Amino acid sequence: MKVPSALVLLLMIMTASWIILIAMTYLIFQVIVPISPPIHSPYSVVLAYAFLKLILAVASFGFWLYSYFLLRDMFVKVKGLNRSPTPSSSDRTEP
Amino acid sequence: MIELFIPIIALLLSYLGSKYLASALAKRGLTVPDMHKPGTPQVPRPGGPAIAFAIVVALDILYVVTGSEEVLALSLTVIIAFAVGVYDDIRSLKGPVKVALLFTASLPILLLHTYVPLPPFPFAGHLRITTIYPILVFLAIPVTSNAFNMIDIYNGLISGFSAIATLPLFVSFLIRGDMLMVSISLIFMMTMLGFYLLHRNPSKLFPGDSGSLAIGAAYGAIAIIGKVEIVAVVALLPAILNAFFVISSVGGIIEHKEMKKRPVRLNSDFTLVASRESDAPVTLARMLLSDGNLSEKEVVYRFFVLEAFASLLAIITFLLTEVRL
């Protein structure tokens, strides 16, 4: 299969990042944050719900960040960014 | 109606101020070499004073006309970020120290309470996050300032990128009918265009950290005050991804010159090539160069294509905030 150009691949990564951003903000703010215990629950249940929300939010945020690592590593792998030999010694290095 | 003429003042102040500053800095020998050009010509730096002057004067005129506290908060945010940048241009601050100082630039927005803790999100309407929103405001200005600072790497990039990134904010304000924010976003865009005329390839003036931090702070503040936070985040995706890739590669916030391995190398014909060293930082520029050698102009053009695409996604995002599931 033909490897897309770097620009096209980055446009695809940006689209994926956008979809993930919208999906994860929806999940965190509309699904996890509104979770609340039944009215007049004992303190231990309220605490357990708060703990559950914290764990779900941290897990979602962790997955969110991890997905960006995956996108970056996918690009590096597809484009072989770390594979080729280094340029010749006559090349100048950017300051 | 006069509000819509103030952006023209910003354009003139930015262009003429940059021109004057470039010649004044050159006369005093305040220049740095442009390493991407044959003969490494000396380019005046920093152009930040011209950028900050144009934005702040235009905003102050708008404040006199409207008396809006939002305009005052934005103006103060730009001044503080600019001051941090000036110190950085003179003393060269460490990354974490710069971030810590930039937290103070969020204070005018927080103290004047020029924010609404109900940000609109796609499919979700307005979220009620009254407790954590001030914390997000506190974090937002250092994040946007540093994201812009990290893309200030090539001639014309940060100024052109910022002008394109402001388009979705301008369109959002226009659709919403918020004429004050339309005027503010136009002031910012025109300032960027005025500066771009001198910053484009071959640059006659570099913004320096005083310029890039003021630009980033202004952008972040416009997003918060204008209640288009998520639209701005999407519009800045290329800069945010770049910052995320760099920070995750090098394991922290560090200055360009502190990087042990360069992500991009310069060939003898002055084209740019991606480093193939496995431990070199993964930056957006390195990714764009992974197909082969490109001139500086070609890399900047690709950055603009990415930013134009992100701006389109940002406008779609704004339209989706009107949709509820």
Per-residue pLDDT at B139: 94
**Residue A65 falls within a domain, yes or no?**
yes
Query: Is A18 inside any structural domain?
Result: yes
The residue among A2, A9, A13, A17 with the most chain B CBs within 10 A of its CB, best to mutate, is: A17
- Domain hosting A14: range is 6-78
- A10–B284 C-beta distance less than 8 A: yes
Of the pLDDT bands very low, low, confident and very high (cuts 50, 70, 90), residue A93 is: low
Rounded distance between C-alpha atoms, residue B246 and residue B275, angstroms: 14
Is the pLDDT score of A88 beyond 50? Answer: no
- Which residue, chain included where needed, has tokens 């005018």? B108
Q: How many domains does chain A have?
A: 1
Label the pairing between strands B264-266 and B272-274: antiparallel
- Residue A6 touches partner B, C-beta closer than 8 Å: yes
Q: Report chain A residues whose CB lies below 8 A from the CB of B287.
A: 6, 10, 75, 79, 81
ipTM: 0.88
pLDDT in tens, chain B (325 residues): 677 799 999 999 999 999 999 999 999 999 999 999 998 999 999 999 999 999 999 999 999 999 999 999 999 999 999 999 999 999 888 888 899 999 999 999 999 999 999 999 898 888 888 888 999 999 999 999 999 999 999 999 999 999 999 999 999 999 999 999 999 999 999 999 999 999 999 999 999 999 999 999 999 999 999 999 999 999 999 999 998 888 887 766 666 666 677 889 999 889 999 988 878 888 999 999 999 899 999 999 999 999 999 999 999 999 999 877 7
Measured CA to CA, the distance from residue B46 to residue B25 in angstroms comes to 8
- Structural domain boundaries in chain B: 2-18+42-237
**Residue A34 has which token pair?**
């509104």
Interface with A, mutate which of B32, B128, B287 (most A CBs under 10 A):
B287
Q: Is residue A89 part of a domain?
A: no
Q: What is the DSSP letter of A79?
A: T
Mutate one of A2, A5, A10 to test the B interface: name it (highest B CB count within 10 A).
A10
Task: Report residue B39 as tokens.
Answer: 């003969």
Question: Which of B265, B317, B325 shows the shortest C-beta gap to A91?
Answer: B265
Say if residue B142 is preceded by a cis peptide, omega within 30 of 0: no
What's the pLDDT score for residue B50?
97
**Is A20 a domain residue?**
yes
Name the minimum distance, in Å, from the CA of A48 to any CA of chain B.
20
Contact B266 A26 (CB under 8 A): no
A2 touches chain B (CB under 8 A): no
Q: Which chain B residues have a beta carbon less than 8 Å from that of A83? A: 276
The verdict on a CB contact (< 8 Å) between B287 and A75 is yes
- Region of B115 please: left (phi>0), alpha (psi -120 to 50) or beta: beta
Interchain contact, B276 vs A86, CB within 8 Å: yes
